[in-house]
Structure 1
Amino acid sequence: MSFASPVVAAAGSDDPAAPLVVLLHGRGSHEREILTLADHLPADLAYAAVRAPIAEGGGFAWFANRGIGRPVASSLRETMDWFRKWLDSVDRPVILVGFSGGAAFAGGLVLDDPSRYAGAAILYGTLPFDAGVPVEAGRLSGLPVFVAEGEHDTVIPRQLLDRTWTYLSDESGAVTTARRDPVGHGLAAPALAALAEWLRLNRAE
């Protein structure tokens, strides 16, 4: 399947050398919605919110699903390859920040090629297990990762949230900052503040 060129919305620093935080929205959303996160994150970083390539539900999606949090492997591969073509034009450190479906997409990208990224934040979502990307022990060795989950999230299956938490905290080899807040499927204010602090500490020049 061929996709149109990415629609990208930008915010933050206009310094071409500033690390780039790529914001990846959830299923059925769009780039302008997640770009609002940049207002709460370090101003000296650059932000690019990318629109997912598959139209769905009045918004856009990163991949076809075979169930909530379970990407179709062939669809995920197509969209990751599409995204990487855009990313090839970016010559600076890149940190991925994904929410919900965007978290699964960010997880797929970083598991597929860990050395390409300076870090990844997995917000209220699952890694794309059983979807054609490697998840062996030590896969993300040394990579800064931030994971936030809602204790009362009923959108993403709890089994997948728990598997993501365990893999990132205990198996992946990543340098993981992980937190759970007493919320559902939505970004808690304390988690957003913690994400901002994590970005300040892990920005790569």
Structure 2
Amino acid sequence: MLEIDADVVRWREGEPDGELLVVMHGIGSHEGDLFGLAPHLPAHLTVASLRAPIAYGGGFAWFEFSPVDSDDHAVIDEAAHAVLAWLDGLERRFSRVHLLGFSQGGAMAVQLARIAPDRFASIAHLASFVHAGELPGDAALAAKQPRIPLLTTIGDLDEVIHRDKIERSAPWLDAHFDVDRRTYHRAHSIVAEELADVVAFLQRAAA
């Protein structure tokens, strides 16, 4: 069973009894990568940057990499349930929980909302995709009123996220979230304009 290592979570404190932003990195990276964004994010949010539970190269992964689509949810659900268990084990309680994920971490963020659609207030889905196939929670996610706000971003030079995954994911996101879609002239990275859009999105979603 996969577990989130609570001892390596990187924290930035926000307002007491406020809102939590859970940050999930991409494949082959680590908890310190996206934590570099923390000084730029809305100050009232408590930020927790997680380490994925599977060793991968010199870093970590949330699930095994596949260049083609797979509708086997077992490969991603185990990590998603590990994140939910970590949240359940927190001594602190937050009024709302937001998710930010890059690449594999973005797929994880969407998967968490598919499994537990009532637990998350917003998602920043950066340079990422949606895991293929259907889940029992998808109908409840689409039926939520109001829908969960989701910022999804991609680069027109991104060669890491396969174009088929991008094209399949876009209409699925539109059918299940309140989507704000942005495209940037970049490869598989986060650029300054994108960070500014993430900050503005979180300021609206976590006001």
Q: How does 1:167-178 map to 2 (within 5 A)?
A: 167-169=172-174, 171-172=175-176, 174-178=177-181
Q: How does 1:44-63 map to 2 (within 5 A)?
A: 44-63=44-63
Determine the C-alpha separation between the residues in 2 that align with 1:83 and 1:118: 16
RMSD: 2.1
> Is contact 2:4-2:52 (8 Å) kept?
no
- Give the counterpart letter for 2:120 in structure 1: Y
Q: Which runs of 5+ in 1 are unaligned?
A: none
The answer to whether structure 1 residue 154 and structure 2 residue 154 are counterparts is: no
Q: Which runs of 5+ in 2 are unaligned?
A: none
In the superposition, the TM-score normalised over structure 1's length comes to 0.88
Which digits, 9 at most, give the CA deviation of each residue in 1:94-117, with x for residues without a partner? 100000010111111011111100
- Once the two structures are overlaid, the 10-residue window that deviates more, 44-53 or 65-74, is 65-74
Indicate how the Cα distance of structure 1 residues 17 and 65 shifts in structure 2: closer, same or farther if over 3 A, else same. same
In the TM superposition, residue 69 of structure 1 has moved relative to its aligned partner by 6.5
Q: Which residue of 1 aligns with 2:80?
A: 80
The answer to whether structure 1 residue 116 and structure 2 residue 122 are counterparts is: no
- Give the counterpart letter for 1:65 in structure 2: F
> Is contact 2:4-2:82 (8 Å) kept?
no
Indicate how the Cα distance of structure 1 residues 66 and 175 shifts in structure 2: closer, same or farther if over 3 A, else same. same
In the TM superposition, residue 167 of structure 1 has moved relative to its aligned partner by 2.0
Q: Which residue of 2 aligns with 1:143?
A: 148
Which digits, 9 at most, give the CA deviation of each residue in 1:2-46, with x for residues without a partner? 446333110142x33121111100000000111011122112211
* Count of matched residue pairs: 201
In the TM superposition, residue 140 of structure 1 has moved relative to its aligned partner by 5.6
The answer to whether structure 1 residue 9 and structure 2 residue 10 are counterparts is: yes
